[in-house]
Structure 1
Amino acid sequence: MTEAGRGIRLNDQQRLAWLRLIRSDRVGPATFRDLLNHYGTAAAALEALPELSRRGGAIRGLRIAAREDAEAEIAALSRLGGRLVAIGEPGYPAHLRTIDAPPPLLSVFGPEEIAARPAVAIVGARNASLAGRKMARKIAEGLGEAGLVVVSGLARGIDAAAHEAATETGTIAVLAGGLDHIYPPENEPLLQAIVASGGAAVTEMPLGWSPRARDFPRRNRLISGISLAVVVVEAAKRSGSLHTARFAAEQGRDVFAVPGSPLDPRAEGCNHLIREGATLTVGADDVIEGIAPLLGRPPAPPPQLEDADTPMATRPEEPDDTARARIIEALGPTPTSVDEIIRETGVAPAAVQLVLLELDLAGRLERHGGGAVSLA
């Protein structure tokens, strides 16, 4: 299944098991990774879920995604012209693989090739001014002429202007809902034009999923994760675009901001970013110059995440009650790094990870950035 130098290719049964696992209750990207690394295959992890949840102290049983539901999602996605792409497969954005807890599966419209090209995100206000939309188009056109893919969130205003300007040179729309629930609906023709011109649409959400307010920060995290840099054009003080910039900084991406009048509330966020250290930009050349050292440099290797063809022959030894009690005692409401838990308890790393999985699947653990955890 592994092709030397080219990542992985899941077979149909592995892809089905991956989909069932990530669609099961309480299995997010970080939990998915730990389950796969511990059990070797998604199929083996699925079998282990009920017992893990019980040992973690779950009050109610864990809902595991049904095989027929996963098969129906794959079939419906195929009928729409989309496909599921697993982390490490061709078509999965190379830089997205390197963020903390990347999505194990993406639903994708569009060709594999665009995911391998270097990308820059352009984001900003939905209620953008004419000048702001003009600036977004200008920057997007310049980036496209330089061979860069433009990434944005298909929202009204700045996002739409950036996508429109980069449709012919390559753009990726990151969605907060399923591929069959385009938001806002009036931008569906724009998305069709993007895909028809060789661009792409990606989401980590299932088909049928209507985006909710809390889904947009997840989308913004992917926008910055796919990109080498984020350019913010008009953003109010509490704009979602500032969340994208924050995610970019956490992910080690460069942040650029277009300055604006202090009298315009839509410029307040950009001016704040510049004061905090973002690079002031008035055109694509500023961005291209800023990321020049990154171009041509391969992304860092992603965290190991591979579904073996068969389950592991031997499992790490299960922690005894004393070890389990020490791990739980070390946890509290304050986020603590897993490395610190291992160091302070003296319990083997594999045993610590297993107990954290149990608590996570029982709904008793919260995960935080940088690999920290706390009791819910």
Structure 2
Amino acid sequence: MPLGGARRTGTALSERQKIAWLRLIRSDNVGPATFRDLISHFGNAEAALEALPELSRRGGADRSFRIATVDEAERELEAAHRFGAVFVGIGEPDYPDALRQIDGAPPLLATKGNLNATARPSLGIVGSRNASVSGAKFAAMIARDAGAAGYVITSGLARGIDTAAHRASLRTGTIAVLAGGLDRPYPPENLGLLQEIVSGEGLAVSEMPFGWEPRARDFPRRNRLVAGISLGVAIVEAANRSGSLITARYAADFGRLVFAVPGSPLDPRCHGTNDLLKQGATVTTSSADVIEALAPLSRDDLFSRLEANEPSAEEPRPMPQPPDDTDRSRVVEALGPTPVAIDDLIRYTGLAAPQIHMVLVELDLAGQLCRHGGNLVSLATAE
């Protein structure tokens, strides 16, 4: 029986808030985790923007801090409007529920197409770009059957397995996650497929600015979104060192189900998936293997909106007392090139969590911090 859409709740951002959010996330060294900490600390994006230069100075920045201007944000909103796209904020009704729950979820997503696609549970399907005929056929079968069961199929618009999964789910709903801006799809030969997706039951999403040409480092970020949007990810043909294995690793980190299709040990395209099976991925030889495993996870209330996991309602707050030099030194001395958990940092230093997070924000804005998956941080090393 097809699944129903989740109840849509949330608070829409005003145009002024959306401009401030865009300015904040497009400013130097402001990633999703720092964005969230800034909103939590200062209460709204406008107050955070005013504080950025001083915060970066306290973190040790050795150059002026670039803050995205109002004109730049307005131009990007206008570009989105001309392109037929809209930005969706993390606390708004159309933001994907499952994605909202991961650490460092993008505060804003550029979207084009049918936003109803975010209301239903999703299955990710990824795999080899140079897929075999049988691999593409199997991926398409899973996508059709899962789509008929009510799941939206999420993938990365790549050649091969991704393309097969998207095409097989055009009628039931599919989400294409782009590595570049919405107006810079890759690969170029899938532009027609993307147009079919956004003009029908599907949706295209990206966290990158309009006009952004995808680079090699942007594809793991795309894979992270595929895993974050999905309740589970099916890997169909993946060689060793494949980007699909990055998606599988993110899925496991997020507590998602990982499905792997076994293949011939003589086919290099199956080495990665066979290794996933050795590591505990669910053996997948039919669509039923996926649909039955996902069923208990597909309740409408599974990813209920938890206020503590979202940026605040943007209410002005009293300016908090900044960490003093002694506290800042204790945090820096406790850090090193090896990633450590923020919770461990709090326990080790004995400082309050808000103070720790503010020092980390300062270091991040100054380019002195690296954030890793699993809420880990380390000092940045000179390249």
TM-score range, shorter chain: over 0.9
Select which of 225, 233, 256 maps to 1:222: 225
The 1:269–1:112 alpha-carbon spacing in structure 2 relative to 1, beyond 3 Å, is same
- Within the alignment, does 1:250 sit opposite 2:250 as a pair? no
How much does 1:305 deviate? 2.8
Question: Is residue 2:200 matched to residue 1:197?
Answer: yes
> Which residue in 1 is equivalent to 2:265?
262
Structure 1 segments of 4+ aligned residues over 6 angstroms from their partners: none
Q: In the TM superposition, what whole-angstrom CA distance separates every residue of 1:73-132 from its partner, at most 9, and x where no partner exists? A: 000101111000000212111100011110000000122221010110110111011111
Give the 3 Å change call, closer, same or farther, for CA 369–309 of structure 1 in structure 2.
closer
Kindly indicate whether residue 112 of structure 2 is the aligned counterpart of residue 109 of structure 1. Answer: yes
- How many Å separate the matches in 2 of 1:365 and 1:192? 39
Structure 2: state its 5+ residue gaps: 1-6
Q: What is the Cα deviation at residue 7 of structure 1?
A: 1.7
User: 2:354 matched to 1:350?
Assistant: yes
Do 1:316 and 1:350's aligned partners in 2 also have CA atoms closer than 8 Å? no
Partners of 1:128 and 1:158 within 8 A in 2: yes
Residue 304 of structure 1 corresponds to 309
Letter in 2 for 1:298: L
Q: Which of 5, 9, 13 is the matching residue for 2:12?
A: 9
Q: Which residue of 1 aligns with 2:322?
A: 318
Query: Is 2:367 the counterpart of 1:374?
Result: no
Distance 1:213 1:318 in 2: 38
Name the structure 1 match of 2:4: none
Q: Does 1:59 align with 2:95?
A: no
Count residues in correspondence: 372
Please list, as runs of the form range in 1=range in 2, the aligned pairs for 1:231-246 lying within 5 A after superposition: 231-246=234-249
**1:93 to 2:96 alignment:** yes
1:129-168, aligned counterparts within 5 Å?
Answer: 129-168=132-171
Paired residue secondary structure (1:140):
helix
Q: Report the Cα offset of residue 40 of structure 1.
A: 0.4
Gap change, CA 1:179 and 1:239, over 3 Å in 2: same
Give unmatched runs, 5+ long, in structure 1.
Answer: none
Q: Secondary structure at the match of 1:277?
A: coil
Residue of structure 1 in register with 2:41 after alignment: 38
Q: What's the secondary structure of 1:8's corresponding residue? A: coil
Give the Å deviation of 1:67. 1.0
* 1:126 pairs with 2:142: no
Instruction: Give the TM-score taking structure 2 as reference length.
Output: 0.94
Q: Distance in 1 between matches of 2:184 and 2:143?
A: 25
The within-5 A match list for 1:276-291 is 276-291=279-294
CA RMSD of aligned residues (A): 1.5
One-letter amino acid of the counterpart of residue 94, structure 1: D
Q: In structure 2, what is the Cα distance between the partners aligned to 1:278 and 1:309?
A: 41
Partner amino acid, structure 1, of 2:269: R
CA contact (8 A) 1:91 1:111 kept: no
Q: Report SS of the residue matched to 1:141.
A: helix
Counterpart-to-counterpart distance in 2, 1:276 and 1:349: 35
Query: Aligned partners of 2:137 and 2:126: how far apart in 1?
Result: 13
List per-residue Cα deviations over 1:256-298 (Å, max 9, x = no partner). 1111111111111111111111111122111011111112142
Q: Is this contact kept in 1: 2:23–2:73, CA < 8 A?
A: yes
Say which SS state the counterpart of residue 234 (structure 2) adopts.
strand
The aligned counterpart of 1:330 is: 334
Using the TM superposition, give the Cα deviation of residue 342 of structure 1 relative to its aligned residue in structure 2, in angstroms: 2.2
TM-score (norm 1): 0.96
- Is the CA contact (8 Å cut-off) linking 2:128 and 2:244 kept in structure 1? yes
Whether contact under 8 Å (2:113, 2:200) holds in the other structure is: no
Q: Please tell me whether residue 339 in structure 1 is matched to residue 339 in structure 2.
A: no
CA distance in 1, matches of 2:8, 2:204: 26
Larger mean CA deviation between 215-224 and 364-373 belongs to 364-373
| Percent of aligned positions that are identical | 60
Q: Secondary structure at the match of 1:122?
A: strand
Structure 2 CA distance, aligned partners of 1:275 and 1:309? 47
